[in-house]
Amino acid sequence: MALMQPPTQMGTPMTDHDQSLSAPFGTPGSRALIDTPALVLDLDAFEHNIARMAEICRTAGVGLRPHAKTHKSSIIARKQIAAGAIGIGCATLDEAEVMVAAGLPGVLITSPLVTQGKIARLMRLVAGTGDVMVVADNPENVAALDQAAAAAGTTLGVLVDLDLGQHRTGVATVADGVRLARDIADRRHLRFAGVQAYGGHLQHIPDHAGRLAATRAADALVAELVAALTEEGLAPGIVTGAGTGTHRINAGGGPFTELQAGSYTVMDAEYGDVEYAPGEAWPFRQALFVAVTVVSTNAPGRVTTDGGTKAFALNGPPPRIAAGPLAGAAYAFSGDEHGCITLPDGVAAPTLGTVLDCVVPHCDPTIAHYDAIHCVRGDRLVDVWPVDARGRRAAAPRG
Amino acid sequence: MALMQPPTQMGTPMTDHDQSLSAPFGTPGSRALIDTPALVLDLDAFEHNIARMAEICRTAGVGLRPHAKTHKSSIIARKQIAAGAIGIGCATLDEAEVMVAAGLPGVLITSPLVTQGKIARLMRLVAGTGDVMVVADNPENVAALDQAAAAAGTTLGVLVDLDLGQHRTGVATVADGVRLARDIADRRHLRFAGVQAYGGHLQHIPDHAGRLAATRAADALVAELVAALTEEGLAPGIVTGAGTGTHRINAGGGPFTELQAGSYTVMDAEYGDVEYAPGEAWPFRQALFVAVTVVSTNAPGRVTTDGGTKAFALNGPPPRIAAGPLAGAAYAFSGDEHGCITLPDGVAAPTLGTVLDCVVPHCDPTIAHYDAIHCVRGDRLVDVWPVDARGRRAAAPRG
């Protein structure tokens, strides 16, 4: 019996396996088709999130350049642009190459690219579209970018990256920021495009008051740099930063012309533990899950699943079973390929083969484990989206 | 200027990027071609490890069925077979499908497959080769396997999986093991192939004495099951188990006919912290590294690399810089895409663009982050091997 294939935008034909699926393994379009462990996206929740953040930014009069490091999916990026986003943030050159190839506009690479090989690839992207920008925090890097842009006969937009105290990337002081901006503006083949100031360390401060205070302090530093630049005749066109954790604070006034949030798209357990605002629930719904299957039930008081350390990010809370009698049960990793669920008192063990949806611990690095996102509406599998910007790095020796 | 491409067995043509590489980004075959973050394999050390474990098992008169969950690479598996391995262990059906498609013999799937969809795929593999076995720990699962084998008109070799105290998978008692073996043997379309007894919890016990005692206790349980089975006329043809951490103990006598070690191939920081044997160093060399690049140097006392939580496994020690003035420096993750190295007292910051090799924290889940392994001899990039058994799961809805 032939199976109706769910609609797909993957561009690759399904494998032989799919051709020979027959009814016992799931009715056409049924969620039972999903082979675990697997990423599962609740499309209703996802679409709500995309629309809600777009509305928040529109209402606040601030731009949204959502960060693709979360989803690494050009399909999701396209939906964000369709909802009004002004561009796409990319953490890596690989992500940027995929997004540009997919026709996404306004790509901003949010980490410095410092090697000759990466800079050469960047120039190919810029020469192709003219619509790719990068951040820099170092005068040597600025000189290298200018030289490469000259060689490529193009002009590159460069933003000064400002360190907000995380000490990851960015210039360390306002004076350094002004100096670097002047350096960029004086280069023949670079264009000073603005300022990036992202505080990764601010996003998950769990209590709103603490997050508000730390964010306002960081905002003051950004405002100081913007003022100093303006005084120098270098008023930044773009002031970009903020994430899902601080989007509400940063949308409510301050130095930013645009926000870089990403996790709002799908949410995760880590953000679920963050207080949105006093008396206010998160306006975004949990949309992303990892589906796992119970594969062993012999040990008393526990069952084993097929979701281990290769199926979930480890830098977040443990996976949380989303619904049913096991919601809230402790989930511990039992090696690379297995998870162990401790049965709560009085809860019977699920039968072998039971599929459980787990709220992802930390969305970005969990998605990066997978090649595909399974999109569901209720019990129906309606689409499969490739995580097309993952895992490309180092696939072949490149310059 | 055209660049000589390093030899590759990837089967896919290199991308446009590679065609247009020119000399400044690395001489042909130079390590400088490797785009970071990237997996780097020291081929001399790797080949030493493959040969050494083969020799250990040959000398001990025990078989070696190395576990592909470590490397997820059919090229490495083929080299293990060429060195005398009797088959390949696979943790997942995806791994097994890749290994079978690559022509690897003696594939044993070491985790129970319990869903109808996975069992159907398994039957396709078995029908194609007749040379794939699976473990089971549950009579319902045995019945389902038999039914599927009957429908497929084939016979499947099934091993009884015994729990050695990790409570992950496996029958809980010797009596349960005998009962399940009898059940398998009585099924028309199954063949009782033997016993699997893997103690994941034993492998990394850091002191040798503790590991020895725990392993001997587990061995006693395995021996008890083997004796009980033999008494029932079900003497197991295969008794498989052990890992890199216990291979020396298990090769030195005991119930096993074959060992399932995997990590010895490349080694990692986690095993580096385990005492091999009193007064004896590990006979395997560290062969696998993640190369990272210094991308920011503005913060005093530290530098930032491009290797974050998407580049390394988190369930092991932190990355360790393998050589040079920063060997032993503290490496902390600074988000998904960045790492922070604290400069030891008196050590100058490396310049922007410096590439550093880090010993992988935990090999299996680190490899699973990547699509390719870059093989080097000294300073030369000599090959690129795909991690062809990674990330396939859930690429499309399958049965």
HEC string of B322-338? CCCCCCCCCEEECCCCC
Closest CA to A266 of A363, A358, A356: A363
Q: A91 contacts in B (CB within 8 Å)?
A: 336-337
- Within-domain flag for B338: yes
Residue after which a domain boundary falls, among A209, A238, A268: A268
Residue after which a domain boundary falls, among B207, B238, B269: B269
Residue of A15, A71, A164, A169 to mutate when probing chain B, most B C-beta within 10 A:
A169
For chain B, how far is it from start to end, CA to CA, in angstroms?
Answer: 49
The answer to whether residues B312 and B245 belong to one domain is: no
**Domain CATH number, residue B340:** 2.40.37.20
Query: Would you list the DSSP string of B104-160?
Result: -SSEEE-S---SHHHHHHHHHHHHHHS-EEEEE--HHHHHHHHHHHHHHT--EEEEE
* B371 in A contact zone (CB under 8 Å): yes
pLDDT of residue B12: 33
Round to whole Å and give the CA distance between A253 and A262.
Answer: 20
pLDDT of residue B130: 76
The answer to whether residues B231 and B289 belong to one domain is: no
Query: Is the pLDDT confidence value at B27 over 50?
Result: no
Round to whole Å and give the CA distance between B122 and B100.
Answer: 11
Round to whole Å and give the CA distance between A225 and A239.
Answer: 10
| DSSP-based three-state secondary structure for B13 | coil
Distance from CA of B106 to the nearest CA of A (A): 21
Considering the entire predicted model, what is its pTM? Answer: 0.92
Residue of A147, A310, A352 to mutate when probing chain B, most B C-beta within 10 A:
A310
The answer to whether residues B31 and B52 belong to one domain is: no
Q: Phi first, then psi: what are they for A28, rounded to 5°?
A: -50, 130
pLDDT category of residue B10 using cuts at 50, 70 and 90:
very low
The answer to whether residues B244 and B139 belong to one domain is: yes
Q: How far is CA A250 from CA A44, A56, A173, A239, B321, in A?
A: 27, 11, 21, 11, 38
Round to whole Å and give the CA distance between B155 and B126.
Answer: 8
Nearest CA in chain A to B352: A114
Within 8 A by CB and 6+ apart from B162, the residues are B170, B171, B177, B195, B196, B197, B221, B222, B225
Q: CB pairs under 8 A, 24+ apart, for A182-186?
A: A182/A232, A182/A234, A183/A139, A183/A142, A184/A136, A184/A142, A184/A158, A184/A160, A185/A234
* B198 and A336 Cβ atoms separated by less than 8 Å: no
| DSSP-based three-state secondary structure for B166 | coil
Extended beta strands in A43-131, E state: 63-64, 88-90, 107-109
- Within-domain flag for A6: no
The answer to whether residues A225 and A160 belong to one domain is: yes
* A194 and A236 Cβ atoms separated by less than 8 Å: yes
pLDDT of residue A28: 55
The answer to whether residues A331 and A199 belong to one domain is: no
Query: Is the pLDDT confidence value at B61 over 80?
Result: yes
DSSP class of B162? B
Round to whole Å and give the CA distance between A259 and A66.
Answer: 7
**Domain CATH number, residue B57:** 3.20.20.10
pLDDT in tens, B261-318: 999 999 999 999 999 999 999 999 999 999 999 999 999 999 999 999 999 999 999 9
The domain total for chain A is: 2
Contact B353 A115 (CB under 8 A): yes
Distance from CA of A55 to the nearest CA of B (A): 28
Closest CA to A197 of A155, A243, A153: A243
- The number of beta carbons lying within 10 Å of the beta carbon of residue B211 is 23
H helices of chain B, in order, are 16-19, 43-60, 74-82, 93-101, 116-129, 139-152, 174-186, 208-231, 247-251, 269-272, 363-367
The answer to whether residues A250 and A203 belong to one domain is: yes
The answer to whether residues A173 and A128 belong to one domain is: yes
* Per-residue pLDDT in tens (0 to 9) along chain A, 399 residues: 233 333 333 333 333 333 323 223 344 588 888 999 999 999 999 999 999 999 999 999 999 999 999 999 999 999 999 999 999 999 999 999 999 999 999 999 999 999 999 999 999 999 988 789 999 999 999 999 999 999 999 999 999 999 999 999 999 999 999 999 999 999 999 999 999 999 999 999 999 999 999 999 999 999 999 999 999 999 999 999 999 999 999 998 899 999 999 999 999 999 999 999 999 999 999 999 999 999 999 999 999 999 999 999 999 999 999 999 999 899 999 999 999 999 999 999 999 999 999 999 999 999 999 999 999 999 999 999 999 998 755 434 433
Query: Which residue range is the domain that position A138 belongs to?
Result: 44-268
Query: Would you list the DSSP string of A274-342?
Result: S--BTTB--SS---EEEEEEEEE--STTEEEES--TTTS-SSSSPPEE-SSTTTT--EEE-SSS-EEEE
- The number of beta carbons lying within 10 Å of the beta carbon of residue B187 is 20
pLDDT of residue B128: 85
- Within-domain flag for B274: no
- Within-domain flag for A169: yes
Extended beta strands in A38-181, E state: 38-42, 63-64, 88-90, 107-109, 132-136, 156-161
Contact A313 B309 (CB under 8 A): yes
Of A137-146, B8-17, B81-90, least confident by mean pLDDT is B8-17
pLDDT of residue B33: 86
Round to whole Å and give the CA distance between A172 and A192.
Answer: 18
Peptide bond before A319: cis, by omega within 30 degrees of 0? no
pLDDT of residue A392: 57
The three-point CA angle B326-B327-B328 to 5° equals 105
What one-letter code names the amino acid at B127?
Answer: A
Q: Phi first, then psi: what are they for B111, rounded to 5°?
A: -125, 145
Of the partner residues A91, A296, A398, the one whose CB lies closest to the CB of residue B112 = A296
Strands A190-197 and A156-161: parallel
- Within-domain flag for A9: no
Residue after which a domain boundary falls, among A242, A268, A294: A268
Distance from CA of B59 to the nearest CA of A (A): 30
ipTM entry: 0.91
The answer to whether residues A57 and A36 belong to one domain is: no
pLDDT of residue A261: 98
What one-letter code names the amino acid at A11?
Answer: G
